[in-house]
Structure 1
Amino acid sequence: MTLSVDLFFSFRSPYSYLALPKTLKLVAEYDASVNLRPVYPLAVRVPGFFKRADPKFARYVVLDSSRVAKFENTPFRFPRPDPIVQDMATLDVAERQPYIHRLTRLGAAAQAEGHSLRFVDAISRVLWDGTVKGWNEGDHLTRAAAAAGFDLAAMDESIAADPDRYEAIIAGNEKDHAASGHWGVPTFVFENEPFFGQDRIELLIWRMQSKGLTRRAA
């Protein structure tokens, strides 16, 4: 029996990106499916979050995520430009957010098609692995999406024609994320139990094995 897991994911979260290799390994090695459900980052989802957080929070995330990437040998560089338009000196978040709205809606569109993990993995690499300059320029995203089997232009057109449909998917994801018992990303949820962080995947597998998770046939 295939066991299903929800994964609440943000395109701005370095730990969400760092969770992807282990998540893909999970579904490759075990009889499991992962329903990746994009949510907006805390900077958008919780207005004023960074103003209220300890200033050391953001500095530590930069330090630790870079360290984790090196430890796990995962190509890594913070996206240029930042998916969130934010003044990192004042921590003010701009009202207009063209990058993160597009990315998250695209993730919701892939979720609606049932293939969000594959799509998000392809797009996240362009943002985070450091191989391109200006991920938002040229055809970087288009080529990454095409390599994963998606027509990015068609997805953008569908979203432009009915943005409320995709905002409703995101809102539903955020509602279920909050109901899971955690607010951060990445959060995996299996049978209503949350597992927060890219470093909790082994614990998640252990829990799933207690519920009958089996390895795929070789």
Structure 2
Amino acid sequence: MSTITDGDIVEQELSVDLYWSFRSPYSYLALHHVRALSQTYALRWNVKVVYPLAIRTPDFFERMDRMWRPYLLTDTQRIAEFLDMPFRRPVPDPIVQDPRTLLISPDQPRIHRLTRLGAEATLRGRALELIDSVGTMLWDGSVDGWDQGDHLARAVAAAGLDLQDMEAAIASDPQARDRLIETNEADLRAAGHWGVPTFVFQGEPFFGQDRIGILLWRLRQHGLRPRSN
């Protein structure tokens, strides 16, 4: 919990860790709830960007039931319609994966770039703004070829950051950003889960955008209050 002071107003903020991936459709769909809660309640989100399962557990797609992927596609589209969120899978996919065999390529430049940008935004204190802006650009269907032209630079700028400056900083010490990502992934497992989005409050994990209501119930038990302005 943290305290915000504005003149004579003292506002207590509760803090929630948000584990999030650029390739997860459910992570994107969770942004609807994160925005709403941020506007309504004295709540701080500690964004912890991680690699998707395709990178952390590349054999996942070999082990899953064949019905998993078709259901995922149906379910995410349905949730987007329910939430009135524009939705389309990113073009190109942040993960290099054979669409027929689902095999994951060992070479993954796009997701490494995005996830390191997430780590760099964390170091600059603007991770929430970055995942909101870049995540929306990836998933809302407004952009083809997000990795070409100035699409990514414009999305990063909308988060109050500069893409060229961030990528220069990453290039100067990529290992530092990778260590932060690895720490986030270890913290996610230590909290009791492996998937995203996962919300962790006082050590208790809530997995999935559909657990927001239960998370809100728990936060209210711990004194969650509306924002004062």
Common fold by TM > 0.5: yes
SS of the residue 2:45 aligns to:
strand
Counterpart residue number, 1:111: 122
Deviation (angstroms), 1:85? 0.2
Matches for 1:168-187 after TM superposition, within 5 Å: 168-187=179-198
Deviation (angstroms), 1:88? 2.2
CA distance in structure 2 between the partners assigned to 1:24 and 1:126 by the alignment: 16
Q: Does 2:43 correspond to 1:32? A: yes
Q: Describe the superposition over 1:58-82 as per-residue Cα deviations: whole angstroms up to 9, x where unpaired.
A: 1111110011001110010000111
CA distance in structure 2 between the partners assigned to 1:148 and 1:11 by the alignment: 15
CA distance in structure 2 between the partners assigned to 1:204 and 1:59 by the alignment: 28
Q: Is the 8 A contact 2:126 2:159 kept in 1?
A: no
Counterpart residue number, 1:69: 80
Structure 2, unpaired ranges of 5+: 1-11
Q: 1:93 aligns with which of 86, 96, 104?
A: 104
Moved segments of 4+, more than 4 Å:
none
Counterpart residue number, 2:5: none
Q: Describe the superposition over 1:143-193 as per-residue Cα deviations: whole angstroms up to 9, x where unpaired.
A: 111122100111111111110000000000000001111111000000000
Counterpart residue number, 2:113: 102
CA distance in structure 2 between the partners assigned to 1:196 and 1:47 by the alignment: 20
CA distance in structure 2 between the partners assigned to 1:62 and 1:156 by the alignment: 32
Matches for 1:112-191 after TM superposition, within 5 Å: 112-191=123-202
Counterpart residue number, 1:42: 53
SS of the residue 1:8 aligns to:
strand
Counterpart residue number, 2:218: 207
CA distance in structure 2 between the partners assigned to 1:13 and 1:40 by the alignment: 10
CA RMSD of aligned residues (A): 0.8
* TM-score, structure 2 as length reference: 0.93
Deviation (angstroms), 1:87? 0.5
SS of the residue 1:2 aligns to:
strand
Deviation (angstroms), 1:47? 2.5
Structure 1, unpaired ranges of 5+: none
CA distance in structure 2 between the partners assigned to 1:76 and 1:135 by the alignment: 15
Alignment identity in percent?
Answer: 54
The structure with the largest alpha-carbon Rg is 2
* TM-score, structure 1 as length reference: 0.98
Counterpart residue number, 1:51: 62
Counterpart residue number, 1:193: 204
> Aligned residues, how many?
218
Deviation (angstroms), 1:115? 1.5
CA distance in structure 1 between the partners assigned to 2:113 and 2:93 by the alignment: 13
